[in-house]
Structure 1
Amino acid sequence: MRSQSAMPATAPVGLADKLAALADPRSPRGRRHSLASVLLCALCAMLAGARHLRAIGQWADAAPQHTLPRPGSAHRPVPGNHPPRPARPGP
């Protein structure tokens, strides 16, 4: 029988923390949400039954705003990112 003292005493790490530690391969230009929040939304959509990219996008689009803060993606753009500027009317 193994003694309890042989087990490492580390604090559990959540999935969001693990995903936040991933390097983001996307270009900084145009990012609206962190990679972790995008992956968490995709995971939530897949757990809800989405099986392809279009279904994941539809789930994220239809998700109520009160559910999106949990994975960290509700109207909280990546710092330093600015929304696209409206096109200027031509002369």
Structure 2
Amino acid sequence: MASFPRCMTPRTRLAILEKKGFLPRRAVSGSRLPELGSLPDPRGNEIVVLAPFYERGFGLPVHPFVRGLLFFYGLEIQHLNPNAVLHMACFTW
């Protein structure tokens, strides 16, 4: 598993993303944010997704094209950078 950087995303940034409609509300999605400065610790059924992914068009559930692409190349979503997510979003659109 890849090592993740320490969390530097304040809760206010996620609140803004929720308000703009980029993120579903935490009560609906069940998402959680690690404390500032701590390492992400995904549980068995969780994945780590970076906030810029949502700002560039990433959404859940993921389109079948994206799932197939990740499977084909043996990648996980955290292996992609935000520009790659933007390109995939444009391609699937």
TM-score by length of 2: 0.24
Q: Which has the higher helix share?
A: 2
Q: Indicate the structure (1 or 2) with the bigger Cα radius of gyration.
A: 1
TM-score by length of 1: 0.24
- Bigger relative contact order, structure 1 or 2, given CA contacts below 8 A and separation 6+? 1
